Amino acid sequence: MQAASAVEQSVADVIARFLVSQGVQRVYGLCGGHIMPIWMRLDAHGIRLIDVRDERAAVYMAHAEAELTHGLGVALVTAGPGVTNAITGIANAHVARASVLVLSGTSPTAQDNRGGLQDLNHTAMVSGITRYARSVSHPALVLQELNEAVSRALGHGADSGPAYLDFPVDTLRSVVPQAVQLPEFFVKHEAPISSPSPHSVKAAVDLLWHAKRPLFISGRGARKAGPALKQLLSLLGAVYLDTGESKGLVPEDHPSVVAAMRGNVMSQADLVITLGRKLDFQLAYGSPAVFGEAKFLRLADNTAELRDNRRGTVELLADVNQSLLAIIEAGKDRQAATDKTWAGGLRDQHLARAEKLQQSMRQAPAGSDGLMHPNRLLSALRDALPADSVVVADGGDFLSFTRVGLPATTYLDPGSLGCIGVGTPFGVAASLVHPDRIVVVATGDGAFGFNAMEIDTAVRHQAPVLIVVANNGSWAIEVRDQQETHGKVVGTRLQFADHAAMAISFGMHAQRVEREEDLDDAIAKALQNRPALLDVLVTPEAASSDAKSGLAWVPDLQALSAWDDAERQWRETPPSRT
Ligand SMILES: Cc1ncc(C[n+]2csc(CCOP(=O)(O)OP(=O)(O)O)c2C)c(N)n1
């Protein structure tokens, strides 16, 4: 055993003190000898360890924590298979730009590369999916490396994303000279707030106040700009679409919201304003084949969200909230040119469609198998959940039904990596971050299976999550693709397994629901007995909008069949540019 004073000045202790200084309250992890010194010092310094059942889940949970707190999420995973298990989570955080710090251990320095226990070159494996990946073997460098890693993870001055650090276990046990433990290394990293140049603000105002059909699209970079965004939308009478990254930012009752008219509005706008949003596959890569002649105005605090796929006629590289405030200040006395008939018409059509959707969800017919339509389940959830619930959606068809049918002010899903299986871990972390709000995970049975063991974590940590499994006994969206594309179904059927029985065996309140008439009561009981799971049998025959759009088939040029056709046609048409 080490002397107490040596432990308190050890690298492991410095890591724990540093995390405390950054406001970290929870670390998600799975134990192992190579990280035990950190584990024990985290506990000694009052950081709560959320011990999970697979390292992948630890990173997903840290990801959800980061997204919901707008801060840092931390995962601690052991060497070798601990890191390889974590890799899908790291990749997902990389694509989602989530501020996750992953910490691990490595072989003792004297055994490095000798075939030691769990000896792998971790940094080489994660370097392509992290903003920063280093092995820190010198005790005096630990604080410098931690500060750099956190800064990169938070994305100050660049895009945010996962950062990775590991330490040989003997380094973790080594003493950090007190002289190098400078106080400034323990100062919390605050986000810099950058302002746009007056010149670019003026150019943006000119574009915005001349536009007849302005369309705003928000992403993760707009999350802190809700009030300013609402104000600017009202000033201009513009129309607005959110994306999975920013769902709930502008409330449904704002007259600019036209979510149900997504397809139409994208091709009609004459000015598209992206707010901290990449023009990825979900936005047709910003292609003129889909957006027509529209000009683009792009606002982001990092170049990754400012210039991907499509340059803006005007580009504001600054804090999105500051840019919006500056635009409002400079333009507020002008007369907007927005075509009110166009915007109002879209809003009316949106409201009519949204109303119709609610009606049709309530009456959605059962399948020929007699099982309820997933929209019946969602409709019952919609009626039961408070407006400020946190919604986590996961799966194929069921994710699509949930995204469209279940409103949310706070929302998480597998994101553009399409990383199904995140649902339960995201939900567990979300319910720890927001213990006073209802957190519901709406997941397909296939997606649930990836991290189903985390129901154990939820029970042990009393994480008050409600998991709703839409059990259709299949990877349904893939079944449909096989039926339509290949005329044969193979390897895509599951069992109608009893997930409620599984949850009960781990001590969770759970109920299997087979009949529509039992839904309301089951949901009410589950809400009162969280953590809880409902295993609801639904028909695999219901085709979601994602199934109909061709997403599962993965077309060559664009993500959706209609966009793919448009893109092909556009590429074949000679340009009429002058
Ligand atoms: C990790 C991972 N594996 C496979 C896929 C491909 N995939 C996308 S949706 C889907 C089916 C999901 O099934 P389920 O969760 O049961 O939802 P359902 O479509 O049945 O509603 C699959 C296998 C993926 N996106 N991610």
138-195 confidence digits (pLDDT tens)? 999 999 999 999 999 999 889 999 999 999 999 999 999 999 999 999 999 998 899 9
Write the pLDDT tens digit of every residue in 476-522.
999 999 999 999 999 999 999 999 999 999 999 999 999 999 999 99
Task: Output the CA 509–ligand 1 centroid distance in Å.
Answer: 26
The closest-lying atom of ligand 1 relative to the alpha carbon of residue 447 is: 15
% the chain with pLDDT above 90: 97
Nearest to 194 by CA among 117, 115, 276: 276
Angle separating helix axes 374-384 and 397-405, nearest 10 degrees: 40
What's the distance, CA 44 to chain centroid?
Answer: 31
**Ligand 1 in contact with 442 (CB < 6 A)?**
no
Whether the per-residue pLDDT at 375 is higher than 80: the answer is yes
Q: How far does the chain reach from its first CA to its final CA, in angstroms? A: 78
CA separation for the pair 86, 142 (Å, rounded): 22
Q: Hey, is 490 helix, strand or coil?
A: coil
Whether 562 shows a pLDDT value over 80: the answer reads yes
Gap from CA of 542 to ligand 1 centroid (Å)? 15
Over residues 236-250, the mean pLDDT reads 96
Which pairs with CB-CB distance under 8 Å and at least 24 residues apart come from 180-185? 180/140, 180/143, 181/14, 181/143, 182/143, 185/18, 185/143, 185/144, 185/146, 185/147
Q: Is 476 in the pocket of ligand 1 (CB under 6 A)?
A: yes
5 band by pLDDT with thresholds 50, 70 and 90? confident
- In the structure, what pLDDT confidence band is assigned to residue 575 with cuts at 50, 70 and 90? confident
| Residues annotated as catalytic (active site), given as ranges | 478
**For residue 63, what are its two tokens?**
């990801």
Q: How confident is the model at residue 577 (pLDDT cuts 50, 70, 90)?
A: low
Q: What is the position in ligand 1's atom list of the atom closest to the CA of 443? A: 15
Return the best residue to mutate from 60, 420, 554 for the ligand 1 pocket (most ligand atoms within 8 A of CB). Answer: 420
Report which of 73, 71, 78, 88 is spatially closest to residue 125, judged by C-alpha positions.
88
Model confidence at 8: pLDDT above 90: yes
Alpha-carbon distance of 536 to 206, in angstroms, equals 53
Q: Is the CB of residue 455 less than 8 Å from the CB of residue 531?
A: yes
pTM of the predicted protein model: 0.97
Q: Using the predicted structure, report yes or no on whether residue 578 has a pLDDT greater than 70.
A: no
Mean pLDDT of 2-14: 91
Q: Ligand 1 within 6 A of 413 CB?
A: no
Ligand 1 pocket, 395 CB below 6 A?
Answer: yes
Q: Give the separation between CA 546 and CA 398, rounded to whole angstroms.
A: 10
Alpha carbons 28 and 55: distance in angstroms, whole number: 9
Task: Kindly state the percentage of the chain with pLDDT values over 70.
Answer: 100
420: tokens are: 């199904």
Please indicate whether residue 60, judged by its CB atom, sits closer than 6 Å to ligand 1: no
Could you tell me how far CA 444 lies from the centroid of its own chain?
17
What mean pLDDT, rounded, does the chain reach?
97
* Mutation choice for ligand 1 from 478, 480, 538, 545, CB with most ligand atoms inside 8 A: 478
Q: Angle 11-21/36-44 helices, nearest 10 degrees?
A: 50
